[in-house]
Amino acid sequence: MRVAWKLFAVLTFFYAVLDVVYFLVGGEELGVIAIGLSALLALLIGYYLWFIDRRSGGVLPEDNDLGEISDSAGDLGFYSPHSWWPLPLGLSICTVGLGLIIGWWLTIIGVGALLISVIGFSLEYEKPSISTH
């Protein structure tokens, strides 16, 4: 596991140096931005792998040569069996996209609907705390 995050750390450094060299040589703006975003993406993935490595102690069940299938069994997370929130989320994103074509007024409406949809999708299974004071 340590090899993975170190590889992405090296990639981050490589893309950052490449971005500076490309900028100094006179590269176009879009190329500078694209290489910079590649460095940020490698940093994001490397940080995630480093964080998981730190939490798991560096040894995953997949890394054990003598490991059994049951070693990695257990809860993988909570997955919603049914949810209606992806529908308004997708429609809101389409409204924002159409608003960029048709007019800013539709974009503002779409962003408002998108904000409500993201909040609803994120907090779908949260229980409200009711105070009895």
> In a structure prediction context, what are the per-residue pLDDT tens digits for the chain, which is 133 residues long?
678 899 999 999 999 999 999 999 988 999 999 999 999 999 999 999 999 888 877 777 777 788 787 877 777 677 777 889 999 999 999 999 999 999 999 999 999 999 999 999 998 888 776 766 5
pLDDT of residue 53: 87
97 and 53 share a domain? no
* pTM score above 0.75: no
18 and 53 share a domain? yes
Classify residue 14: in a domain, yes or no. Answer: yes
pLDDT of residue 1: 67
Contacts 24+ apart (CB under 8 A), 109-118: 113/88, 114/89, 116/88, 116/92, 117/85, 117/88, 117/89, 117/92, 118/89
Closest of 75, 74, 76, 82 to residue 125, by C-alpha = 82
Q: For the chain, how many structural domains are there in total?
A: 2
Provide the residue range defining the domain that includes 7: 2-59
Classify residue 79: in a domain, yes or no. Answer: no
Classify residue 65: in a domain, yes or no. Answer: no
Classify residue 129: in a domain, yes or no. Answer: no
